[in-house]
């Protein structure tokens, strides 16, 4: 169903409930989802269809595909966006808010906390 590493070990029905009830946004090919240095919107995104590219300092640093999650770090900090994200095709994103993330963390033991920390470390390596 949902192949999201960050949710490994969490009861699938609980993750499904969060994802199914989450807001969604649609973007057209080449739309900018947000720009580097923009003020944070307190949203993380899960790609529900197709792909995006992550651009930093005018260079593509990553391509993300279906079920990849991005900007979960932004939910934990008050910093501006660290990169631009652009759609490579028409796509739909699932929005995860800070309250969604808190609900997930409060629902489970340390499994999701470890996964979130791991993702933050991976994202910080991309910025180096």
Could you read off the pLDDT tens digit of each residue along the chain, which spans 128 residues?
455 666 666 667 767 777 788 899 999 999 999 888 877 667 888 888 889 999 998 899 999 988 888 876 666 666 677 788 999 999 999 988 877 777 766 665 555 566 666 666 666 665 55
Domain with 46, as residue range(s), is: 5-127
Does the predicted TM-score (pTM) go above 0.85? no
| CATH number of the CATH domain containing 122 | 2.60.120.10
Between CA 55 and CA 58 the distance in angstroms is: 6
Total domains in the chain come to 1
Report yes or no: 71 and 64 within 8 Å, Cβ to Cβ.
no
Provide the strand spans (E) within 16-120. 24-27, 32-34, 43-47, 52-56, 59-64, 69-70, 84-87, 91-97
Report yes or no: 89 and 33 within 8 Å, Cβ to Cβ.
no
Burial degree of 4 (CB within 10 A; 0-12, 13-18, 19+): middle
């Amino acid at each position: 169903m949902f192949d999201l590493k960050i949710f490994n070990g969490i009861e699938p029905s609980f993750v499904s409930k969060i994802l199914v009830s989450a807001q969604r946004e649609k973007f057209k090919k080449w739309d900018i989802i947000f720009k580097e240095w923009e003020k944070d919107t307190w949203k993380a995104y899960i790609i529900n269809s197709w792909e995006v590219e992550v651009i930093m300092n005018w260079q593509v640093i990553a391509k993300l595909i279906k079920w990849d999650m991005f900007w979960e770090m932004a939910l934990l900090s008050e910093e501006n966006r660290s990169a631009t994200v652009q759609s490579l095709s028409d796509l739909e994103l699932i929005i995860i808010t800070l309250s969604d993330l808190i609900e997930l963390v409060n629902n489970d033991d340390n499994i999701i906390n470890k996964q979130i920390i791991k993702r933050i470390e991976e994202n910080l390596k991309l910025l180096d």
